């Protein structure tokens, strides 16, 4: 099994365990954020002078291990992300493989004023309702985990409860997952089955993504020059996590990165 298959199998077990404990109706009734209007990542990406950077908070990855211990609080990192110009904030909520949890999502929402993306392996409508109840503005759907029909169904449900949808693809064969219900399309330069990274994947796919759906480049972005290249190609957003999280002070690393980007004008 590839690591993605392992993660999805574990996610199915996790959903089976927790789904009977909290129904969607309970999320609607008790979810603090259910009635709160959501922040739009699409609008933030298209805003004048937007950095386009969706800065990510994650403590570890399956391929690199721990960047930061579980004791690292989300607050100091995402406050710096917010203050120094993040267009959005991505929060990894998977615990087993990425060291995250839903409390990180809640904290990120209440202490920032930019859109918050719940990044997880979403395969069930229940997870989307959970994301809404815990403060997400945007959810991620990964084409490699889902059929085109599943993407359409899950995205339609997300839209019905006021969430925006970012669809992640990795190759030309996944372009058929793009549908009307998807708001943005991300191109992951990291192969989720091998974890190899290649920026050229974004450059190859950008002209095949519908122009009305803002394109976001994900993974493998470690310098301002790469963003300039991707922006010139047509990308509006840039999801970056490891570049910041591996540093001693992720917030400062983000601030320095943005300063370097602004130097390009």
Active site residue 219: yes
CA-to-CA distance for 228 and 135, rounded, in angstroms?
Answer: 31
CA-to-CA distance for 156 and 161, rounded, in angstroms?
Answer: 9
> Which residue out of 130, 168, 174, 242 is catalytically annotated?
168
Q: What is the CATH number for 75?
A: 3.20.20.70
Residue 115 CB partners (closer than 8 Å, separation 6+): 38, 39, 40, 41, 44, 87, 88, 89, 137, 138, 164
Residue 41 CB partners (closer than 8 Å, separation 6+): 54, 87, 88, 115, 117, 137, 138, 164, 166, 183, 184, 237
Active site residue 188: yes
Active site residue 204: no
pLDDT given at position 69: 76
Q: What is the pLDDT of residues 147-171, one digit of tens each?
A: 999 999 999 999 999 999 999 999 9
Torsion region of 33: left, alpha or beta (phi above 0 gives left; psi -120 to 50 gives alpha): alpha
> Which residue out of 174, 218, 236, 242 is catalytically annotated?
218
> What range defines the domain where residue 75 resides?
3-262
Token pair of 260, please?
A: 């370097």
> Which residue out of 11, 44, 58, 109 is catalytically annotated?
58
> Which residue out of 130, 174, 219, 242 is catalytically annotated?
219
Total count of domains within the chain: 1
pLDDT given at position 63: 82
Share of the chain above pLDDT 70, in %: 98
Residue where the block lists tokens 């301002």 = 224
pLDDT given at position 70: 79
- pLDDT of 237 strictly over 90: yes
| CA count, 13 A, side-chain hemisphere, 161 | 27
Q: What is the pLDDT of residues 193-224, one digit of tens each?
A: 777 788 899 999 999 999 999 999 998 899 99
Active site residue 168: yes
């Amino acid at each position: 099994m590839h690591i993605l298959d392992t993660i999805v199998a574990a996610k199915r077990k996790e959903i089976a365990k927790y789904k009977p404990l909290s129904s969607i109706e309970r999320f609607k009734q008790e979810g603090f954020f259910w009635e709160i209007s959501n922040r739009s990542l699409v609008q933030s990406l298209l805003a004048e002078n937007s950095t386009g950077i969706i800065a990510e908070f994650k403590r570890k990855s399956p391929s690199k291990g721990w960047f930061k211990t579980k004791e690292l609080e989300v607050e100091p990192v995402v406050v710096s992300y917010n203050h120094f110009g993040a267009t959005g904030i991505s929060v990894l909520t998977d615990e087993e493989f990425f060291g995250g949890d839903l409390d990180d999502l809640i904290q990120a929402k209440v202490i920032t004023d930019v859109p918050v993306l719940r990044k997880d392996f979403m395969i069930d409508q229940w997870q989307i309702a959970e994301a809404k109840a815990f403060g997400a503005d945007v959810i991620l759907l990964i084409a490699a985990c889902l059929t085109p029909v599943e993407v359409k169904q899950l995205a339609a449900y997300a839209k019905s409860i006021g969430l925006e949808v970012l669809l992640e693809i990795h190759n030309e064969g996944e372009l058929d997952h793009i549908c009307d219900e998807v708001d943005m399309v991300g191109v992951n330069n990291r192969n989720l089955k091998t974890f190899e990274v290649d920026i050229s994947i974004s450059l190859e796919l950008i002209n095949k993504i519908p122009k009305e759906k803002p394109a976001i480049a994900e993974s493998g972005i470690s310098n301002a020059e790469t963003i300039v290249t991707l922006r010139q190609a047509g990308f509006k957003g840039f999801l970056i996590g490891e570049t910041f999280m591996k540093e001693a002070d992720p917030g400062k690393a983000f601030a320095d990165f943005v300063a370097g980007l602004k130097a390009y004008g």
